[in-house]
Structure 1
């Protein structure tokens, strides 16, 4: 397994990016200013994008594993890589996500804790309703972990 930085043509991974953020113009808001990594193991299995949000906070804007490879530890491997890579450079790693039990549990299992909520984020910033497990996402839940 190898994790490498993607310097150019980040949109070639758009299919993976859209798994975590299903509206392309929302991805465009952070993709070029972010640092992108892909995890390869006999092909690309996962990707992530992080951005510097100031005040010592690094934000995980996008994390996705290819559908056929979900549940195999690739997402956790990416989070662990980010923690190792950015420890000492940032005080905290944060992630914003929909209030979906499975997603929240995943991040909590990676050492994140609920930090704050942005009400109506998904209904105000997306041009269509976003659903996860049949439930419409409304609020953005931010979780953080210390680096």
Structure 2
């Protein structure tokens, strides 16, 4: 594969349609987009995007990672996470990621080396203006996973 990962430092909002695949409310994306570092994975065109924020105390958070639908389940998400692990190693001690309690999503992060950390009860019902349903599951709690960075 002839892929490359590049930082996006300007006009981050141009990627909103892709970011909305992973976080479907624009006002929630607005909370972290400008303060986060954004990266794009290109491989004969844009395949994936992510945003990582500094949460203090040596912790960074993967706030959003999205792969364009035709490229999903082809390794692009894992490749981007692997890049982030190397990129942030030495800068942070731990990366966390929050997600809905959906088996395929939590299993994806576990396959990338993340382990269960904690849960925020009613995060989705308290913070989103509409019900969020993923793979037929109504999201209520935010599940956090973490991974140590070397």
* Fold conserved between structures, TM > 0.5: yes
Alpha-carbon distance in structure 2 between the residues aligned to 1:74 and 1:41: 9
Deviation at 1:94, TM superposition (A): 0.5
Alpha-carbon distance in structure 2 between the residues aligned to 1:93 and 1:78: 14
Q: Detail structure 1 runs of 4+ shifted over 4 Å in the superposition.
A: none
Show the counterpart of 1:104: 106
Count how many residue pairs are aligned between Structure 1 and Structure 2. 147
Deviation at 1:16, TM superposition (A): 0.7
Show the counterpart of 2:124: 122
Secondary structure of the residue that 2:91 maps to in structure 1? Answer: coil
CA deviation vs aligned residue, 1:80-132 (integer Å, no higher than 9, x gap): 00000010110001000000000000000000000010000000000000001
Show the counterpart of 1:44: 46
Q: TM-score, normalised by structure 1?
A: 0.99
Does residue 63 in structure 1 map to residue 58 in structure 2?
Answer: no
Alpha-carbon distance in structure 1 between the residues aligned to 2:104 and 2:44: 27
Alpha-carbon distance in structure 1 between the residues aligned to 2:88 and 2:135: 32
Match of 1:87 among 86, 89, 101: 89
Alpha-carbon distance in structure 2 between the residues aligned to 1:134 and 1:89: 38
Alpha-carbon distance in structure 1 between the residues aligned to 2:57 and 2:102: 28
Deviation at 1:135, TM superposition (A): 1.0
Secondary structure of the residue that 1:15 maps to in structure 2? Answer: helix
Aligned-pair RMSD on alpha carbons?
A: 0.4
Alpha-carbon distance in structure 1 between the residues aligned to 2:117 and 2:89: 19
Secondary structure of the residue that 1:111 maps to in structure 2? Answer: coil
CA deviation vs aligned residue, 1:32-65 (integer Å, no higher than 9, x gap): 0000000001110000000000010010000000
Alpha-carbon distance in structure 2 between the residues aligned to 1:23 and 1:51: 18
Structure 1, gaps ≥5 residues long:
none
Structure 2, gaps ≥5 residues long:
none
Q: TM-score, normalised by structure 2?
A: 0.97
